[in-house]
Amino acid sequence: MRRDTMELYEPINILKQVGEDIWLVDGPIVQMSMYGVKLPFPTRMTIVKLSNDELWCHSPTELTPELKTQIDSLGPVRHLISPNKIHYTHINAWAKAYPDAIAWASPGVRERAAQQKIEVSFNADLDNDPPVHWKEDLDQLIFRGSRFMDEIVFFHRNSATLILTDLIENFELNKVGKRLGWLMKLVGITDPDGKTALDLRMTFWGRKEESRSCLKRILQWNPEKVILAHGRWYENNGATELRRAFRWLE
C-alpha cells in the first residue's frame, strides 16, 4: 500500500464486543477537510444494547449487508445518534434501513448538513440530559466551550465506558504514512499522547472554564474505557488518559 495513506483497524464492518452490552464497529476510511486539505480518517461507531433490548447506535458508519445481519441479531435498532455536527453522514441510510428508529440531532448538525447539501432528517434533539429512552443505561452531557461545535459525550454505566467522537483523536504512527504523520504530530493527535486537535483547541480560547466544568463531571463518572471515533481507543485507565489528554484546559 502507499505509505501516504491511513491503515484500517481491520477487520472492518463487524461487531467487536468491548464490554457488557456494548460493541464497536471499525469502519472504512473517510476523507476529512483539515487545514485546507483532505485527510484520510478511520471511522468507528459504538452500539449499546439498552435495558429494554433496543439498540442505540452512536455515530453510525457505513451500513453493509453483512454488518446489518450482525446488528439485527442483537435486537431492534431504535436510536441513531449524531454526537456532533460533523458526524452524521450515514444516518440517513440507517434511517431508511430502520424506519422505526429515532434519528437524534446534535447541536448545529441540521445547519451543517444543509451547508454540505447532504440529505438527512432528524426526529429529535439531544441536550445536556439523557432522554427517558436511555437514562437507565447512559449518562450524557454537552461538552461546551468551543466556538466551532458542541459535542455530546456519553457514559455507559454497565461497562464503565466513555464514548467520545472528536474531542480526543489518537492516531498510531505505524498506521500513518510520513506525509500524514508529521502533520498529525504537529497538531497533537498521535498516540501515545492523543488529544484534541490543535485547530479545535483554538476554538476554546477564552471559554475554558466552561469546559473544565464539563471535564470535572466526566471524571466523576470514573470511566475505565474511552472509545474514540479516530485512532487507538483506551481499553483501560480511562480517567488517567482523560486527565492527560485534556491537560491543555489547565
Domain of 100, CATH number, reads: 3.60.15.10
Alpha-carbon span 83 to 220, nearest angstrom: 21
Q: What is the pLDDT of residue 5?
A: 66
For residue 175, the enclosing domain spans 16-249
**Average pLDDT, whole number, for the chain?**
94
pLDDT above 90 coverage of the chain, percent: 89
In a domain, 3, yes or no: no
Q: What is the pLDDT of residue 140?
A: 98
Q: What is the pLDDT of residue 99?
A: 98
In a domain, 2, yes or no: no
Residue 216 to residues 149, 242, 243, Cα–Cα distance (Å): 19, 10, 10
In a domain, 160, yes or no: yes
Tell me: the pLDDT tens digits for 150-171? Answer: 999 999 999 999 999 999 999 9
In a domain, 7, yes or no: no
In a domain, 9, yes or no: no
Alpha-carbon span 150 to 214, nearest angstrom: 11
Tell me: the pLDDT tens digits for 91-147? Answer: 999 999 999 999 999 999 999 999 999 999 999 999 999 999 999 999 999 999 999
Alpha-carbon span 116 to 87, nearest angstrom: 12
pLDDT above 70 coverage of the chain, percent: 96
At residue 69, does pLDDT exceed 60? yes
In a domain, 10, yes or no: no
Place of cell 429512552: 133
At residue 53, does pLDDT exceed 50? yes
In a domain, 206, yes or no: yes
Number of domains in the chain: 1
22 burial class (0-12, 13-18, 19+ CB within 10 angstroms)?
Answer: buried
Are 48 and 71 a contacting pair, CB within 8 Å?
no
